[in-house]
Amino acid sequence: MATHAINIRHIAAFAATVRHGSVTRAARAVNLTQPALTQAIARLEADLGCALFERGPAGMTPTEPALLLAPRAEAAIAQVGSPRVTGTQVRAFLALARAGSYAVAAEATGLSSASLHRAVADLSVALGQRLVDRRGRSVALTPAGERRARGFGLAMAELRSGLAEVAAWQGKAAGRLVVGAMPLSRARWLPETILRFAARHPGVDVAVVEGSHAELSGPLRDGEVDLMLGALRTIGGREASSLDDLAQEAVFEDSPALVMRAGHPLLAGATDGAALARFPWILPASDTPLRHYWEGMMRAAGVEPPHVGIECGSVLTVRQLLLGSDALTLLSPAQLAVELQAGVLATLPPPVPVMRTIGITTREGWRPTAPQAAFVALLREVAAEGFA
């Protein structure tokens, strides 16, 4: 059963029945008639292909798949935040929030623009909040709209996990893992983990979304990405305050090196601060850990960090720029292993040792499914074996 087919009111009826153990009490809790609640549960059971309750004189006893789904259902309902919201409205609003325009959202969902307009307008009325502002042909979320979009995204993530757990209980190959990958993780760590995971869990799909921390942290918070890999955001040993809703796990330490083209003048000379400052630098943006480490390295070497004329986070682009100039960068040798082995690029140790912590970032309170937990365990295993 796909999440796009989920009826949120059916989920609410199911969760209330698990909670109360009685159709009568559950119907009262969600403001439905008993026949309507019974019909909602029957429809959900038909969609899932399994019984969720054992009916008897003592009431409604949840089955094993119901106990798997119930915590996810409760979490999803809490994130939706209103019993008046429908699944159609949630799907329409999330599509609009991600697309930024009704036309693009309509194309992505296959719905008409009129249907999207109507669903979002009905949602706004049901919640009593203005969710979007029109800006020409595009739309922007209001602060209330941003909060609702995040909540709805997390609700859908919980339901996806719940459905995957029920499918696994049924013996069906199911599930999908979405990994946000920052540059360093894409060199060896993540590919080796995916290879092992695919061999052990052939029915679970893996999607990799590449980007910087800034590009991936929003989708992670919104439930579109399950976990994020790369340099942890620690500043001076203290976790940044902007990460209060994210959990970081250190997995291994990386030692970046000075990287340059083969035959670079620096290879035959000194590597003190003054020498490094004479060459142009190619580095990631100023808010990245590697940039902070470079600035600290230059100051420890006795010079102020020089102006960075080219900011770039793409290893492929940096490689080409290094090959065609005397520019320097600071990167993990693992990210350029092929070029270093071929002898077209070279490394030198930095004048001051640089270390950065690489790890796994998830949402605070994230409850992984069994395959997701297995993937995280493999990430630790692969790193411990030196594939980093």
Residue-level pLDDT, tens digit, the chain, 388 residues: 666 567 898 999 999 999 999 999 999 999 999 999 999 999 999 999 999 999 888 789 999 999 999 999 999 999 999 888 999 999 999 999 999 999 999 988 888 889 999 999 999 999 999 999 988 778 999 999 999 999 999 999 999 999 999 999 998 877 889 999 998 888 899 999 999 999 999 989 999 999 988 899 999 999 999 999 998 986 444 445 457 789 999 999 999 999 999 999 999 988 899 999 999 999 999 888 889 999 999 999 999 999 999 999 889 999 999 999 999 999 999 899 999 999 999 999 999 888 889 999 999 999 999 999 999 999 999 999 987 7
- 265-278 burial code (b ≥16 CB/10 A, e <16): ebeeeeeebeebbe
- Gap between the Cα atoms of 232 and 360, Å rounded: 8
Beta strand ranges found along 7-163 (DSSP E) = 53-56, 59-62, 132-135, 138-141
- 296-310 burial code (b ≥16 CB/10 A, e <16): ebbeebebebeebee
- Gap between the Cα atoms of 365 and 3, Å rounded: 22
Q: State residue 237's pLDDT score.
A: 44
Measured at the CA of 295, the angle between CA 257 and CA 180, to 5 degrees, comes to 65
For tokens 């976790």, the residue is 239
Q: State residue 5's pLDDT score.
A: 66
HSE, CB side, 13 Å, CA atoms: give it for residue 124.
16
Residue 29 gets which letter from DSSP? Answer: H
Q: State residue 172's pLDDT score.
A: 83
β-partners of residue 208 are 179
- Gap between the Cα atoms of 323 and 308, Å rounded: 18
pTM score of the predicted model: 0.85
CB atoms within 10 A of CB 315: 17
- Gap between the Cα atoms of 109 and 106, Å rounded: 5
Q: State residue 196's pLDDT score.
A: 97
- Gap between the Cα atoms of 369 and 175, Å rounded: 9
- Gap between the Cα atoms of 95 and 3, Å rounded: 14
Q: Which is nearest to 120 in space by CA: 134, 108, 107?
A: 134
Cβ 48 vs Cβ 63: under 8 Å: no
The residues, ordered by sequence, that sit 6+ positions from 280 with a Cβ below 8 Å of its Cβ are 309, 310, 325, 326, 327, 328
Q: State residue 244's pLDDT score.
A: 77
Q: State residue 2's pLDDT score.
A: 63
- Which whole-number Å values give the CA distances from 179 to 229, 362, 372, in the listed order? 7, 10, 10
The residues, ordered by sequence, that sit 6+ positions from 203 with a Cβ below 8 Å of its Cβ are 172, 173, 174, 175
